[in-house]
Structure 1
């Protein structure tokens, strides 16, 4: 097989693998937006099934807000306002159910958008 054909096949496989890792607006909301001000990380991380294979997810950030307010970030409304956030982070490598601790703070957020909808939580803090 020539080098160009091999690169084409590799590019297609890489592109398809990216699709399997992407998420949509509904998934983003389920994973990151909450109206609860007091999260029990052990419960919510298990209830929402945050697993990658047979391993518990290391970290997840929850945003206390409405979906509309978070969606406005993708509409060109660069909000400098902070969101109330809670990080749930895994404290050991146990198999599910895994122990988690929480850390709460107010901070700005960055998200990746598609068609004016947030689909991926990028980071806390300013870019």
Structure 2
């Protein structure tokens, strides 16, 4: 009976992490993202503030493959508080809301190219939350 309980708890944890990973990919990964596609990508992916139809103030897209981003959780990242920071910079597009207080589907964004290290939350070896981009300076 204990084994069954432990297995069901383990399965629930795995499913929860996988759901967080899928959400992360949907909200933040687009290898060929451009600054002019913020509106269409955010609308087509149904990205909004959590549990509402309010427009998200800012959304960042990482121009990379899922495997490259996943490697931050394994060998290509370092601790950053309770997050993991990438060792290398990434090309990103930061989409910032232009029409404050708007609701879906009327969100209008301005995109900006950046090259930054990124801080993400990893669970079970997978990225589940994008926290911020970090300005870096080369030595």
Larger radius of gyration: 1
Give the Å deviation of 1:99: 1.0
- For the 8 Å contact 1:110–1:126, the answer to whether it is kept is no
Moved more, 74-83 or 99-108: 74-83
Q: Which residue of 1 aligns with 2:108?
A: 99
CA distance in 2, matches of 1:125, 1:30: 21
Aligned residues: 106
Q: Which residue of 2 aligns with 1:55?
A: 54
Counterpart selection for 1:34 from 8, 30, 34? 30
SS at 1:55's partner residue? coil
> What root-mean-square deviation, in Å, do the aligned CA atoms of Structure 1 and Structure 2 show?
2.0
CA distance in 2, matches of 1:28, 1:105: 19
Consecutive unaligned residues of structure 1, counting only runs of 5 or more, are 1-22
CA distance in 2, matches of 1:101, 1:77: 30
Displaced runs of 4+ in structure 1, greater than 3 A?
none
TM-score (ref. length: structure 1): 0.75
